[in-house]
Amino acid sequence: MSECYVLTDARLAPMPVPDGQGYACDGVVVVEREQIAFAGAAKDLPDRFAQMPEQSLEGCLVTPGLIDCHTHLVYAGSRAREFEMRQTGASYEEIMNAGGGIFSTVEATRAATDEELLSGALQRLDRLIAEGVTTVEIKSGYGLDRETELTVLRTARALEQARPISIKTTFLGAHAYPKDTTADEYLKDICLPAMEVAAKEGLVDTVDGFCETVGFNPAQMKRVFDRACELGLPVKIHAEQLSDQGGAALAAGYKALSADHLEYIGDDGIAAMADADMVAVLLPGAFYALKETRKPPVQKLRDANVPIALATDSNPGSSPMTSLLLIMNMGATLFGLTPRECLEGVTINAAKALGLADRGKLEAGMRADLAVWDFNDPAELSYRIGDAPLKMRIFGGEIC
């Protein structure tokens, strides 16, 4: 289409009519180059757009393009055998002794060629794109050596050249540490030097770490965050998934973008996140796959006005998930979020979790990343179990 065009007869979410009886179908979105120039009722359309080319959406729903703000999309190998062992009663230790766990993915990722890593990541990415996703965050963390960590980040960057998608990369060198070393030695000799190279090569947008009894303790995470700050990189954290180690509060001291998982977060951690204006990224796929029973304290997060985002946590071990729509349903059914909270969790709040102020809303000046759905009620996105018919996806103003 032309550099400026008008989408008419649309229902814009979340913009309900005043009486609350549904979503009016007289919505209009003006796309001018890569931005939204106007979004609102047809009667309020500025005169300067009156003669622009139009396309009727025939009452379909328009939302911002969806954002998956926490994934581990680049890796090799499968953990299906490990899943089978869990279903027959094998313990974590038994799985590890049989060659399973994160180190099996590390081994497979190190052995994969660049082409194999890219091909596998594209297959997973295409499933997200088919569901209206326009921005994806991708973490490293399955290399645990300098070269593989950098290769994973380079592969993530290459996805932008292969598909119409925005990729935000996160250095997660502090994901685990090899069995033949200690956590402190790994940070000193491998993780922090690799982060510095990644930053120098422009491969990383944010820095993350796994603060947990089976990962890195708060003092070790502080070393990672101190170096990230010296490099001018914002931080986020895997925190309070299995126990309360104070990771969220630690990250709040660095004005982190988000803390993710949070099943075991306490009141102090929530208060610290609120003070630091952090986002709580909830990951119901991992909660489900690991058969967890302790839920994140959603009502306490609401009461503290901590924004809540949702993400797939797409990874081979604890969340082999490539459906953000299914995650929205899980956010509602497992965690008790409302459909509106689920939609905000994969749009405006997910954008905030990535430090992106230019997307996630249907407003003038935002990036023209849009998803058009073949129904008229935004609750359908959470109500349907991983199945919502996408009519059109617009990325940077281009229909694709």
The model carries a pTM of 0.96
Rounded average pLDDT over 133-149: 98
**Which 3 state secondary structure label does DSSP give 382?**
helix
Interatomic CA distance for residues 389 and 157, integer angstroms: 29
Q: Residue 21: what pLDDT?
A: 42
Whether residue 222 sits in one domain with residue 112: yes
Q: What is the pLDDT of residue 25?
A: 84
Reported as a pLDDT band with limits 50, 70 and 90, residue 307 is very high
Residues 39 and 98 in one domain: no
167 and 263, same domain (yes or no)? yes
Among residues 337, 353, 369, the one where a domain terminates is 353
CATH of the domain at 57: 2.30.40.10
Q: Could you tell me if 157 and 54 lie in one domain?
A: no
49 and 71 in a single domain? The answer is no
d(CA 198, CA 191): 10
160 and 299 fall within a common domain:
yes
Same domain, 37 and 87: no
User: Among residues 42, 29, 22, 20, which one has the least CA distance to residue 376?
Assistant: 22
Whether 225 and 330 map to the same domain: the answer is yes
pLDDT computed for residue 89 by the predictor: 87
Total domains in the chain come to 2
Average pLDDT of the chain? 94
Q: Do residues 202 and 159 share a domain?
A: yes
Q: How confident is the model at residue 19 (pLDDT cuts 50, 70, 90)?
A: very low
For 188-193, which contacts have Cβ atoms below 8 Å and span 24 or more sequence positions?
190/144, 190/145, 190/146, 191/224, 192/223, 192/224, 192/227, 193/146
Domain closes at, from 315, 330, 353: 353
Nearest partner of 213 among 253, 244, 188, 186, judged by Cα: 244
Do 223 and 281 lie in one domain? The reply is yes
Contact 260, 286 (CB under 8 A): no
Compute the half-sphere exposure of residue 256: CA atoms within 13 Å on the CB side of its CA.
Answer: 32
CA–CA distances in Å: residue 149 to residues 9, 333, 395: 47, 36, 29
Range 127-147 average pLDDT? 98
> CA 39 to CA 64: how far, in whole Å?
11
| Residues 6 or more apart whose Cβ sits within 8 Å of residue 61 | 10, 11, 12, 13, 23, 372, 373, 375, 376, 377, 378, 380
Q: What is the DSSP string of 242-286?
A: SS--SHHHHHHTTT-SEEEE-TT--HHHHHHHHHTT-EEEE-HHH
Structural domain of 238: 66-353
pLDDT tens-place string over residues 96-116: 677 778 999 999 999 999 999
Q: What is the mean pLDDT of residues 361-375?
A: 96
Report the CATH number at residue 103: 3.20.20.140
For the chain, list the strands marked E by DSSP: 4-12, 27-32, 35-41, 54-56, 61-64, 66-68, 133-139, 166-174, 206-211, 237-239, 258-261, 279-282, 308-310, 370-373, 390-395, 398-399
Give 22 or 328, the one with higher predicted confidence: 328
57 and 71: one domain? no
Nearest to 14 by CA among 326, 397, 358, 341: 341
Average pLDDT over residues 316-337: 97
Q: pLDDT for 142-199, tens place per residue? A: 999 999 999 999 999 999 999 999 999 999 999 999 989 999 999 999 999 999 999 9
- Where helices occur in 1-113 by DSSP H, the ranges are 80-87, 92-97, 102-111
- Cβ partners under 8 Å of residue 182, min gap 6: none
Whether 217 and 106 share a structural domain = yes
State the DSSP code for 295: P
